[in-house]
Amino acid sequence: MSIAKRRLSPEASRNMALAAARDLLIETGPQSVTLKAVAARIGRTHANLLHHFGSASGLQKALAAYLSDEVCGMIAQAILKSRTGEGTVRDIVDLTFDAFDKQGGAALWSWMMLTGNEDALDPIVDAIHALVDDIGEDGHEDREKHDDTLALVLMALGDALIGDRLSGSLGLPRDSARDMAERQLEDALERWKCEHED
């Protein structure tokens, strides 16, 4: 087994470490995503991970980029499916909300902000920006798409951080924020469609 691991390419080894970091994030929270813990999880040395990421901060930044690419890829696929009738707007909303909640995105990004690693958020912002630009033909000029995406992401982030407690204190069903996001995105997609038909 260790022989097979030694034969992994640098890229495969790095991806294996990032997948393990993501699993640790989901299982036990962002504080557990350390070079030592990830190395132990994949049977590598601390020095090996230092080679790939440089520091714990580098690992967190790489994990943020890894999650962003994964999540944006899934959301983009959901958008394409909704356009062809294979998927729904709710699929897009659920993927976005789950990225921040069930996949640990909100916890990771909050942790990075608290530890002074704000620049680690850059890959997330860049990935979301690229996704929005790819959705339509207007790219950077389409302010409304950026506004709608900002609203969706902020709702998903806020829901992951305080949605359970806040909806409970207001006497609302737990999925209320998702329902609101779904309605807003349906309106936005209908508006985008009408604009392209004109």
Compute the average pLDDT of residues 27-44: 90
Mean pLDDT of 130-150: 65
Q: Has residue 51 got a pLDDT over 80?
A: yes
**Which pLDDT tens digit goes with each residue over 144-158?**
777 877 888 889 989
Q: Are 112 and 118 in contact (CB under 8 A)?
A: yes
Higher-pLDDT residue of 44, 114: 44
pLDDT at 3: 39
Q: pTM for the whole thing?
A: 0.73
Average pLDDT over residues 137-149: 65
For 91-148, the DSSP string reads: HHHHHHHHHHTTT-HHHHHHHHHHTT-GGGGHHHHHHHHHHHHHHSSSGGG-HHHHHH
Lowest mean pLDDT among 21-35, 110-124, 126-140: 126-140
